[in-house]
């Protein structure tokens, strides 16, 4: 084709006149051989100009050794010869057969045409030395010009097709190898995913077994002591002690449920913070009192050292901060048999932040407890995993506290790291990014610092309680009436709607509705929407056992003014009701 490289042909012959003959036949010089041009034109039906398109690039060598050097040079240039015409007799060097064998050693794909008069080697002798293959042909002397041209064209095309086929085959092999490697990697990834899933299932199964134990232990206490109390066979002091134990175990159960809920939020990416302004120093003092009591029960010391540079009034999530503190300190106390647990609190500048009010709170919790081995540290902050199982059996726990605490610390712009040595205690360092707040923004309510407290102001108020569970209905009524409220109880949403709308638009019969969200006949969500749809303007507080952020949003969107989750804390419950009565939205 025009514009393409011409096939390269090598002529190896000791007769120089033969070189010229091959050039005339193969180089496309039709003007130098009019008779040949006319013959090819008649044979192939082509013009003299088109015959030049069938020409070849011809090189010559007088001896086999010279031919070998030219083949090597052409190979290095990346333009190998397609075909070599080799004379059978080339004294005094290699003969044609030996030359062919030498050329094939360096260029196995080279097509060979042996030019012979059968005066030196017979056909059988030539085959015996060159073998039976398709890489060589015989051209009998004296040769015909058309035959030479035809051999050159056919064998050059054959050489080209062989190279293309090999390249295609190599490409296929490369493709197959690449695909095989991809499949191998995919298979390895599937095996790894399977192993990871099996390990996760094993860890969760172990966690559930441990959780079952953790739940059954306090439940045994609650059920057993409640049974004894119901029999009335104990004196007043003994009964009070049992009630305290029941309360403590119930709170422990609640902590476990909250931990599971927080872990579910972490896995769903729904764990969030609710910043507010509060007294940080008051929170630490309250924390010191509760942890010191727990430490005294174990016969160890608890110390809190707070740097004077720590700001008093800050903006952050006090509930989540207290949760981190409680988890770290309770964990240290649990694993310390003798000695002390020491908490050091300090403030550091917030490096890299332009806001002047930002600062880094550093909380170091150190203990003289059992410590941990390096192997335990690797899985310490993994969900559903705990340190060595023997320690778990001895000290108990769900293994979620540290996981949740680190996640909370990271949400607060910090982290939790640990240093520990087996038998020598541990040191947990929590860093949190907080913001200073002006003192005049500090709420007067001490509950904003993390404490709960009863508040006056409910006496004489009229409250409608919608709760289908008779035990809870009685409990909530007693709590509200003990605070001075007048309570009317109903058992479903339909009754709540009728009771709440029994008055006039100017004077509703109740100052506030406490609405359970899950009730038969008509649930609290539907009842609230119906009341708001009918123009009811009174205060409505949602009461529900659902504690996800999405549940809270749904209640508020339905028209509730506040949101309280079960199980309730008496002081927190009353505070939420009072806040709602005062027109302050509060989610307890």
Reference 281, options 303, 302, 310, 251; nearest CA is: 310
Note the pLDDT tens digit of each residue in 456-477. Answer: 468 889 999 999 988 889 989 9
CA gap 490, 497 in Å, rounded:
10
Q: Which is more confident, 218 or 341? A: 341
List C-alpha distances in Å: 338 to 302, 344, 367, 369, 376: 11, 19, 9, 7, 22
* Residue 412 DSSP code: T
| Mean predicted confidence (pLDDT) in 164-190 | 92
Q: What is the C-alpha separation between 137 and 526, in angstroms, rounded?
A: 97
* pLDDT of the residue at 259: 77
Rounded Cα distance, 111 and 83, in Å: 5
**pLDDT for residue 525 is more than 70:** yes
Q: How far apart are CA 64 and CA 69, in angstroms?
A: 9
What are residue 432's phi and psi, to 5 degrees? Answer: -130, 140
pLDDT band for position 52 (cuts 50, 70, 90): very low
22-31, 103-112, 124-133 — which is least confidently predicted? 22-31
Q: State the SS3 of 135-161.
A: CEEEEECCCCHHHHHHHHHHHHHHHHH
Give the best-scoring range by mean pLDDT among 331-345, 381-395, 559-573: 331-345
- Report the SS3 class of residue 358: strand
Domain edges within the chain: 8-143, 276-449, 462-581
- How would you classify the pairing of strands 301-306 and 313-316? unpaired
- Count Cα neighbours of 13 within 13 Å in the Cβ-side half-sphere: 24
Grade residue 143 by pLDDT with cuts at 50, 70 and 90: confident
Which pairs from 357-361 meet CB under 8 Å and 24+ separation? 357/435, 357/436, 357/437, 358/433, 358/434, 358/435, 358/436, 359/311, 359/433, 359/434, 359/435, 359/436, 360/414, 360/431, 360/432, 360/433, 360/434, 361/310, 361/414, 361/431, 361/432, 361/433, 361/434
Q: Which fold has domain 276-449?
A: Heat Shock Protein 90 (3.30.565)
Q: Looking at residue 489, what is its pLDDT? A: 94
Q: Region 77-91: what's the mean pLDDT?
A: 92
Domain 462-581 superfamily per CATH: Response regulator (3.40.50.2300)
Which numeric CATH code is attached to 8-143? 3.40.50.2300
Over range 352-357, report the average pLDDT: 62
What is residue 463's predicted lDDT score, i.e. its pLDDT? Answer: 94
* Residue (of 64, 62, 40) closest to 52 by Cα position: 40
Mean pLDDT value of segment 102-110: 94
Is residue 538 a contact partner of residue 561, using CB atoms and an 8 Å limit?
Answer: no
Side-chain-side CA neighbours of residue 504 (13 Å): 2
Closest CA to 391 of 374, 364, 371: 371
**Residues 208-251 pLDDT 10s:** 666 676 777 777 877 777 777 777 756 666 777 888 788 777 87
Q: What is the pLDDT of residue 563?
A: 86
Expressed in angstroms, the distance from the first to the final Cα of the chain is 87
Contact 487, 475 (CB under 8 A): no
Q: What is the DSSP string of 247-301?
A: HHHHHHHHHHHHHHHHHHHHHHT------EEEEHHHHHHHHHHHHHHHHHHHT-E
Residue-level pLDDT at 585: 44
Compute the average pLDDT of residues 285-308: 92
Residue range 530-559: mean pLDDT, rounded:
86
pLDDT at residue number 226? 78
CA distance 297 to 279: 28
- Mapping DSSP onto H, E and C, the string for 165-218 reads HHHHHHHHHHHHHHHHHHHHHHHHHHHHHHHHHHHHHHHHHHHHHHHHHHHHHH
CA-wise closest residue to 490 among 515, 462, 509: 515
Give the torsion sign (CA, 464, 465, 470, 476).
Answer: negative
Q: Is the pLDDT of residue 50 over 50?
A: no
Looking at residue 48, what is its pLDDT? 44
Q: How far apart are CA 527 and CA 492, in angstroms?
A: 9
Cβ(586)–Cβ(574) under 8 Å?
no
Say which residue, 294 or 69, is predicted with more confidence. Answer: 69
298 burial type by CB count under 10 A (0-12 exposed, 13-18 middle, 19+ buried): middle
Asked whether residue 392 carries a pLDDT value surpassing 90, the answer given is no
Tell me: the pLDDT tens digits for 362-390?
999 999 999 988 877 877 877 655 554 44
Task: Give the Cα separation of 126 and 111 in Å (integer).
Answer: 16
Of 269-278, 305-314, 467-476, which one has max mean pLDDT? 305-314
Q: Model pTM greater than 0.85? A: no
Residue 496, pLDDT > 60, answer: yes
Neighbours of 67 (CB within 10 A): 27
The yes-or-no answer to whether 8-143 and 276-449 have a common fold is: no
Is 427 within 8 Å of 365 (Cβ atoms)? yes
In whole angstroms, give the CA distance from residue 54 to residue 536.
Answer: 100
User: Sign of the CA dihedral 369, 375, 381, 385?
Assistant: negative
């Amino acid at each position: 084709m025009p514009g393409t490289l011409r096939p390269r042909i090598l002529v190896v012959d000791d007769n120089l006149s033969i070189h010229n003959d091959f050039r005339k036949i193969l180089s496309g010089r039709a003007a130098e051989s009019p008779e040949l041009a006319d013959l090819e034109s008649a044979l192939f039906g082509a013009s003299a100009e088109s015959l030049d398109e069938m020409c070849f690039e011809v090189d010559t060598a007088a001896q086999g050794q010279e031919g070998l050097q030219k083949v090597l040079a052409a190979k290095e240039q990346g333009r190998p010869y397609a075909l070599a015409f080799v004379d059978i007799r080339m004294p005094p060097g290699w003969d044609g057969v030996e030359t062919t064998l030498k050329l094939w050693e360096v260029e196995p794909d080279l097509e060979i045409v042996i030019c012979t008069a059968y005066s030196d080697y017979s056909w059988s002798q030539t085959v015996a030395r060159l073998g039976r293959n398709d890489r060589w042909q015989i051209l009998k002397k004296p040769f015909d010009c058309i035959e030479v041209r035809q051999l050159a064209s056919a064998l050059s095309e054959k050489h080209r097709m062989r190279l293309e086929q090999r390249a295609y085959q190599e490409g296929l092999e490369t493709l197959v190898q690449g695909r095989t490697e991809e499949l191998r990697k995919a298979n390895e990834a599937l095996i790894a995913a399977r192993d990871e899933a099996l390990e996760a299932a094993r860890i969760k199964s172990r966690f559930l077994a441990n959780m079952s134990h953790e739940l059954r232990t306090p439940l045994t206490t609650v059920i057993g002591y409640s049974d004894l109390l119901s029999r009335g066979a104990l004196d007043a002091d003994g009964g009070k002690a049992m009630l305290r134990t029941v309360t403590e175990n119930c709170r422990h159960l609640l902590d476990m449920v909250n931990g599971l809920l927080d872990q579910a939020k972490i896995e769903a990416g729904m764990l969030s913070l609710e910043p507010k302004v509060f007294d940080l120093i008051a929170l630490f003092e309250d924390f010191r009192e509760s942890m010191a009591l727990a430490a005294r029960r174990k016969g160890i010391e608890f110390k809190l050292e707070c740097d004077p540079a720590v700001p008093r009034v800050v903006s952050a999530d006090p509930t989540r901060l207290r949760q981190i503190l409680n988890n770290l300190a309770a964990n240290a106390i649990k694993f310390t048999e003798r000695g002390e647990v020491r908490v050091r609190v300090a403030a550091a500048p917030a490096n890299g932040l332009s806001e002047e009010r930002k600062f880094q709170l550093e909380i170091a919790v150190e203990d003289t407890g059992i410590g941990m081995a390096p192997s335990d540290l690797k899985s310490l902050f993994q969900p559903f995993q705990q340190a060595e199982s023997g320690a778990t059996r001895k000290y108990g726990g769900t293994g979620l506290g540290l996981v949740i605490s680190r996640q909370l610390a990271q949400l607060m712009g910090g982290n939790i790291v640990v240093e520990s040595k087996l038998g020598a205690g541990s040191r947990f360092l929590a860093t949190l990014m907080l913001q200073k707040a002006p003192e005049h923004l500090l709420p007067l309510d001490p509950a904003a610092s993390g404490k709960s407290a009863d508040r006056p102001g409910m006496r004489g108020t009229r409250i409608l309680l919608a709760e289908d569970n008779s035990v809870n209905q009685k409990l909530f009524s007693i709590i509200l009436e003990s605070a001075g409220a007048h309570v009317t109880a109903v058992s479903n949403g339909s009754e709540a709607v009728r009771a709440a709308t029994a008055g006039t638009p100017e004077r509703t019969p109740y100052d506030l509705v406490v609405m359970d969200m899950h009730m038969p006949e008509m649930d609290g969500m539907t009842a609230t929407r119906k009341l708001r749809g009918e123009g009811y303007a009174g205060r409505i507080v949602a009461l529900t056992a659902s504690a996800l952020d999405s549940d809270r949003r749904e209640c508020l969107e339905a028209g509730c003014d506040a949101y309280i989750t079960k199980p309730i804390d008496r002081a927190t419950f009353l505070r939420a009701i009072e806040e709602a009565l005062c027109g302050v939205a509060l989610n307890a």
